[in-house]
Amino acid sequence: MALRKILNDNHPVLRSPAQEVKKINSGVLRLLDDMIETMRDADGVGLAANQVGVPKRLLVASAGEDEVYELINPYCENEEGEEVSIEGCLSVPGYYGEVPRSGKIVVNALNREGEKIRLEVEGLQARILQHEMDHLEGILFTDKAVRMVDPEELKSEDSKSEDSKSEENN
Ligand code: NI
């Protein structure tokens, strides 16, 4: 495994829709492994392939505890509810904003074995997956933020709710 360089938001690959993965070969599996290592190294909770310069529809995301989602060609089948919470992004370092997201989603994708999987997720996990699927469309959280949040404000919120992790970087 190897760390990959995370690109910043001025890079054109972050602003273009990523392409479908046609074949899950050793290069794709190595990329998934590297993306997980890169996400963990950066203390992030999600990473899309175009953030490391590969314009393919792949994402990794924290699924709580030590579990990780590895999704190939993911798409949302159903969305319910709306929740507004604070997000950051490894490609937009130092910025945070309040972003409305669906509270509960159903995601279809392939796993690394090429098997179809269907996930029903809500709350933070749903938010992370929506953020990462947006990356695959060339969309950043700053496009959808209803309000940008001063990092100082974030510190005071931290002390209020220690278990709130939605301000983590995706
Ligand atoms: Ni991001």
Annotated catalytic residues are: 132
Distance from residue 131's CA to the centre of ligand 1 (Å):
6
Residue 95 has pLDDT above 90, yes or no: yes
Distance from residue 96's CA to the centre of ligand 1 (Å):
11
Residue 13 DSSP symbol = G
- Whether pTM > 0.85 for this model: the answer is yes
Residue 126 has pLDDT above 70, yes or no: yes
Q: Which residues lie near ion ligand 1 (Cβ < 5 Å)?
A: 89, 170
Block residue for tokens 């050793």: 26
Residue 109 has pLDDT above 80, yes or no: yes
Mean pLDDT of the chain: 92
φ/ψ of 144, rounded to 5, equals -105, -10
- What CA–CA distance (Å, rounded) separates 109 from 92? 26
Q: What is the mean pLDDT of residues 33-38?
A: 98
Domain 12-169 coded CATH 3.40.50.300: no
Alpha carbons within 13 A on the beta-carbon side of 154: 20
pLDDT tens digit string along 71-88? 999 999 989 999 999 999
